[in-house]
Structure 1
Amino acid sequence: MNAPSPKPSRLRDSHVTLAHGGGGRAMRDLIEEVFTDVFLPPGSEDQARLMTGALQEPGAQLAFTTDSFVVTPLEFPGGDIGKLAVCGTVNDLAVGGAVPLWLSASFIIEEGTEIALLRRIVASMATEAAKAGVRIVTGDTKVVGRGSCDQVFITTAGVGVIAPGCDIRAEHIRPGDVAIVNGVLGDHGATILAARGDLALSTPLQSDCQPLNHLMQAVLAAAPDTRAARDATRGGLASALNEMAEAAGVTVEIEETALPLRAEVKGMCEILGLDPLYLANEGTLVVFVPEDQAEAALTAMRGTEAGRGAVVIGRAGPKGSVPAVMRTAFGGQRIVDMLVGEQLPRIC
C-alpha cells in the first residue's frame, strides 16, 4: 500500500514578511503550516477548552505560570529558544509540585526571519512537550518590522495541577534540611557564552536544558515531606539559594567540594573571571528535604534521566548574618551573595 502523498504546501515564502502578520491568507498559511499542523491544538477557536479529572479531587489546586524567552543565539549546542520555552515553563510548574498539563505559546517574529528556522524551533518545542507529557494548546503570532526584535521572542504560559496535600514552598525549609541538586551546574550559561563566538572559545559543552517534571514527581513520591524546590535559572544556584533561605529565615551552607562542575566550566570561569555559582542553568534544580528522607530523594533522582548526577551539596541551618555561605575546599567560609548586575545578557 502506498503512503499518502504529503499535503501540498501553500507557504511559498522562505522568509517572514510583514504580510504574515497582517491577518490575511499569508498569516493563516504561516500559522497553519508552521504552528498548528505541528502542535495540533484542540479545536480552532480563539481559546482552548480543557478538562481534567485531576481537579475534581478535593483539595487539588490549579497552578499557573508565565515566562518570556529571549536568547542569543537562537540555536545552540543542546537546545534552542523553543526547547528553552517549553522546558522553562514546565520546570516552573514542576518545582511547585504541579503536574504540568497545558502550555500556550506566543511568538513575536521579526520580518526577514527564515521560515526554515521557525520550523526547527517549532519542531523542537513539539519534541520537548512530548517528553514532558504536556500539550501546547493555544498561542499567537505577531510579526514586527526589521530591527524591532532579535528574530524570534517567545512567551509561554503553563497550567498544571497540584495534588491534594502537596504544599512545597521555600518558607517550609527548616534547619537540618538537606540540599540536593540533580546534576552539573553552569552548563547552560557557559554553552551560550561559547556559542556566541565572541571569545573564540572551543568547547564540547552543551546546555543542560531539559524538563524536570518527571524527576520532581519521583522525588515527591520517595520523599513526601519535601520542603521546597527551585530551578536555578538566571542568577544560578547562588541566587536560588539566597531567595529560598530568605523566605525560610535560615542560612544555607554548601560545600565547595560537593558542587558538581565540569572541568570545562571551571576552566572557562577561571579564564574569564566568572563565578560558576551564578551561571544560568536550564535543567538543574535544588531541592530541600528532611534529613531522614534525603537518601530516598537522592535515590529517586538518580533513577531518572534528569537526575543521574544528583548529589547532596549542603544543608540549612539556623538563621545567621547572611542567607547563604560556602565552606571552601581550604576549610574557610565564603559568603554566597545574590548576583549583582548581569554576568551574561540574553541567556534565556
Structure 2
Amino acid sequence: MNNPTGQYLSSRPRFAESQVIERIESFRRRRPRLLDDQVTLAHGAGGKASAALIDAVFLEAFGNPLLESLGDGAVLTLPSGERIVMSTDSFVVQPIRFPGGSIGELAVHGTCNDVAMAGAVPTWISAAFVLEEGFPIAELKEIVADMAAAAAKSGVQIVTGDTKVVPRGAADGMFITTTGTGVIPAGRQLSAQSVRSGDKVLLSGSMGDHGMAVMLARGDLAIEADISSDTASVSPLVELLLAAAPSTRWLRDATRGGVGTVCNELAQACGLGVLLHEDRLPVRPTVNGACELLGIDPLYVANEGKFVAVVAPEEAHAGLAALRSHPLGVDAAEVGEIVTEPAESVVLRTGFGGTRIVDMLVGDPLPRIC
C-alpha cells in the first residue's frame, strides 16, 4: 500500500507464478478475427473487437506500411528529410460537457496527445463539426470557445475545418473530428521495435479519471462521487520526460481500452511481455470505489491526460522525477518492466504475491466516453 493515491486490488482468480507459463498459450494475444455481421458499440471501444474491425475492414482495404504500424499517428518523411506526424480522431462523448471538461477540450487535447505520442510537437489542427438540426447556437459557441482556449493553452492553431448539419434525430447533438500535425525534432526515434527486455514501464498519473467522470455525469447510475476528467494536453510532460530520459523507447496515451489494452498492444508489437505490479498502479480512491460498484477494472478505463512510457532502465529514475516535477505528472509511477516471457502477453503481479494475465478489453463497458 505504498501508493499515495490508492490502489486497485483485483477480485479475479490469482495464479501462482509457476502456473502462468503453463496457462499462457490459451491466453496469448492473437489478432482477433471479425465474426460480426453488424457494427456494435464494442467495435469502437479500442479492445479486441476494434482490432478485429480494423484488421478485417480498414487494413484490408487501405493496407500500406505507414498504416500497418497501427500507431495513433502516421510518421511522414518530407522530401527535405524532416519528419512530421499526422493524426486524426473523432469525438462523440456523451454528455458533451462533464466534470473537468467538454467535447471541445477533449477534441483538442486528444489530437495533441496522439501527435505527442509519436515524439512530435503539436502545431496545427483541423476541426470538422457534424451538428444536429436544432442544436443551440449558444451552446455551440461555448464548445468552440472551449476549443479555442484549449488550443491556445496547448500551443496549437486551429487552421482549417468543415461544418455539416444533419436533420433532427440523425445525430446526437454534436460530433467533432480533428486532425493534428506536428514536427518531430531531429534525432528523436520512438517505436515498439526499440523496446528491450529489462526496460521500465512508467505511467504518467492515476488511471480511470476520465472514463469514470463521464460515466457518472450521465446520471443513469445514481452514484455521486467527486471525480473530474483528466483531459489535458500532455505534450509539455512528454518533452520533460524526453529531456530527462533521451533513450525513451515508446509512448502511448491510454485512452479507449485503458492501460491494460495499451500494454497488450505494446506486447504484441514488440514481441516481449509486460509485467505490471498491482501495488504500484495509481488509482484515486474515489475512482477505485466507483469502479468496484460498477464491476469495472480500472486497468480498462479510459484516460485523456495520461500516457504509458517505456524507458531505458538506467534512465527510469530521472524520467520519473521529471514527470513528477510537472502538475500533470505528480502521481506518476514506475508500474512495471519489460520481460522476455511470457512473450506477447501482459501479466499483473498482485498485492498478494500471485499473478494473473491481463488480456485486452473485451466488449464496451463504457460506451461514448471520448
Q: TM-score range by the shorter chain?
A: 0.7 to 0.9
Is the CA contact (8 Å cut-off) linking 1:59 and 1:165 kept in structure 2?
A: no
CA 1:322–1:161: 2 relative to 1, 3 Å: closer
Matched with 2:170 is: 148
Aligned match of 2:308 = 286
> Which of these residues, 88, 92, 95, is aligned with residue 73 of structure 1?
95
Contact 2:270 / 2:344 at 8 angstroms: preserved in 1?
A: no
How far apart, CA to CA, are the structure 2 residues paired with 1:272 and 1:302? 30
**Larger deviation: 76-85 or 163-172?**
163-172
**What residue in structure 2 maps to residue 60 of structure 1?**
82
SS at match of 2:263: helix
Q: How much does 1:197 deviate?
A: 0.3
Is structure 2 residue 160 aligned with structure 1 residue 138? yes
Figure out how many residues of one structure are paired with residues of the other and give that number.
294
The match for 2:237 is: 215
Q: Which residue is equivalent to 1:45?
A: none
8 Å CA contact 2:267, 2:344 repeated in 1: no
User: How large is the RMSD of aligned CA atoms in angstroms?
Assistant: 1.4
Identify which of 133, 157, 180 aligns with 2:202.
180
Q: Displacement of 1:72 after TM fit? A: 0.6
Q: Secondary structure at the residue paired with 1:142?
A: strand
Q: TM-score, normalised by structure 2?
A: 0.78
CA distance in 1, matches of 2:140, 2:352: 50
Instruction: Give me the whole-angstrom Cα distance separating, in 1, the residues matched to 2:195 and 2:80.
Output: 26
Q: Quick check: 1:249–1:319 contact (8 Å CA) kept in 2? A: no
Q: Any stretches of 5+ residues in structure 1 without a counterpart?
A: 1-54
Q: Distance in 2 between matches of 1:131 and 1:175?
A: 37
The answer to whether residue 176 in structure 2 is matched with residue 127 in structure 1 is no
Q: Give the aligned partner of residue 39 of structure 1.
A: none
- Rounded Cα–Cα distance in structure 1 between residues aligned with 2:365 and 2:306: 18
Shift of 1:171: 2.1
Alpha-carbon shift at residue 296 of structure 1 (Å): 1.1
TM (normalized to structure 1)? 0.82
Question: Which fold has the larger relative contact order, with Cα–Cα distance below 8 Å and residues 6 or more apart in sequence?
Answer: 2
Provide Cα deviations, 1:123-156, integer angstroms capped at 9, x if missing partner. 1111111111110011011111101111000000
Task: Quickly say closer, same or farther: Cα 1:322–1:169, change in 2 above 3 A.
Answer: closer
* Distance across 2 between alignment mates of 1:72 and 1:152: 9
2:356 aligned with 1:334, yes or no?
A: yes
Identity of aligned residues (%): 52
Aligned match of 1:90:
112
What is the DSSP-based 3-state SS (H/G/I as helix, E as strand, rest coil) of the residue aligned with 2:220? coil
What SS is found at the alignment partner of 1:102? strand
**Alpha-carbon distance between aligned partners in 2 of 1:321 and 1:94, rounded to the nearest angstrom:** 28
- The equivalent of 2:136 in structure 1 is 114
**Counterpart position of 1:266:** 288
1:10-89 matched pairs, under 5 angstroms: 59-89=81-111
| In structure 1, distance between residues paired with 2:358 and 2:90 | 28
Q: CA deviation at 1:117?
A: 1.0
Displacement, 1:319?
3.5
Bigger Rg, which one: 1
* Residues 168-199 of structure 1: per-residue CA shift (max 9 Å, x gap): 01221111111111111001111111000001
